[in-house]
Structure 1
Amino acid sequence: MKAYLIIHQYEQLFDDSCMKGINCSPQQAINTGDHPPLATNPRRISSINRQIINDEVKKMSNNRIIIPSTSPWASPVVIVKKHDGSPRFYIAYRKLNSLTQKDIYPLPRIDDVIERLNGSYIFSKIDLRSGYFQVPLINEERNKTAFITHDGLWHFKRLPQGVKNFPSVFQRLMNKTLGSLRWDACVAYLDDIVIYSRSFNQHLIGVRHNISAAGCSPNDGNVRAISQFPVKLPKSSKAEYLQRY
Structure 2
Amino acid sequence: MLDVYALISSELFYVDLSAMQLTRSSHFHPILEKSSDLINPVCRDNPVNRFVAHSIITHGNPDKPPVCDLFPTRYKIAKDDFEQMLDLGTILCSSSIWSSVLYMVPKKSGNYCPCGDYLAVKSITVSNTYSILNVQNFSSNLQNKKIFSKTDLVRSYNQIPMAKADVLKTTIATLFGLFEFLRMPFDLRTVVQIFQRFIG
TM-score range, shorter chain: 0.7 to 0.9
Contact 1:38/1:96 (<8 A) preserved: yes
Structure with the largest fraction of helix: 1
Distance 1:88 1:127, change over 3 A: same
1:102 equivalent among 124, 127, 136: 127
1:29 equivalent among 31, 48, 55: 55
Residue 159 of structure 2 aligns to which amino acid in structure 1?
Q
Aligned-partner SS, 2:157 = helix
How is 1:126-137 mapped onto 2 (pairs within 5 angstroms)? 126-137=151-162
User: Which residue of structure 1 aligns with residue 6 of structure 2?
Assistant: none
Contact 1:77/1:91 (<8 A) preserved: yes
Tell whether 2:76 aligns with 1:46: no
CA distance in 2, matches of 1:5, 1:81: 34
User: Which residue of structure 2 aligns with residue 150 of structure 1?
Assistant: 175
Tell whether 2:99 aligns with 1:74: yes
- Give structure 1 stretches of 5+ with no counterpart: 176-245
User: Which residue of structure 2 aligns with residue 13 of structure 1?
Assistant: 37
Contact 1:79/1:90 (<8 A) preserved: yes
CA distance in 1, matches of 2:65, 2:149: 44
User: Which residue of structure 2 aligns with residue 117 of structure 1?
Assistant: 142
Which has the larger Rg?
Answer: 1
Residue 113 of structure 1 aligns to which amino acid in structure 2?
F
Contact 2:100/2:171 (<8 A) preserved: yes
- Give structure 2 stretches of 5+ with no counterpart: 1-24
Aligned-partner SS, 1:127 = coil
User: Which residue of structure 2 aligns with residue 160 of structure 1?
Assistant: 185
RMSD (CA atoms): 2.2
The CA deviation at 1:58 is: 0.6
Distance 1:17 1:31, change over 3 A: closer
Normalising by the residue count of structure 2, what TM-score does the alignment of the two structures yield? 0.78
Contact 2:58/2:124 (<8 A) preserved: yes
Distance 1:78 1:8, change over 3 A: closer
Contact 1:29/1:169 (<8 A) preserved: no
Contact 1:22/1:134 (<8 A) preserved: no
The CA deviation at 1:119 is: 2.8
Normalising by the residue count of structure 1, what TM-score does the alignment of the two structures yield? 0.65
CA distance in 2, matches of 1:17, 1:23: 13
CA distance in 2, matches of 1:114, 1:99: 36
The CA deviation at 1:136 is: 1.1
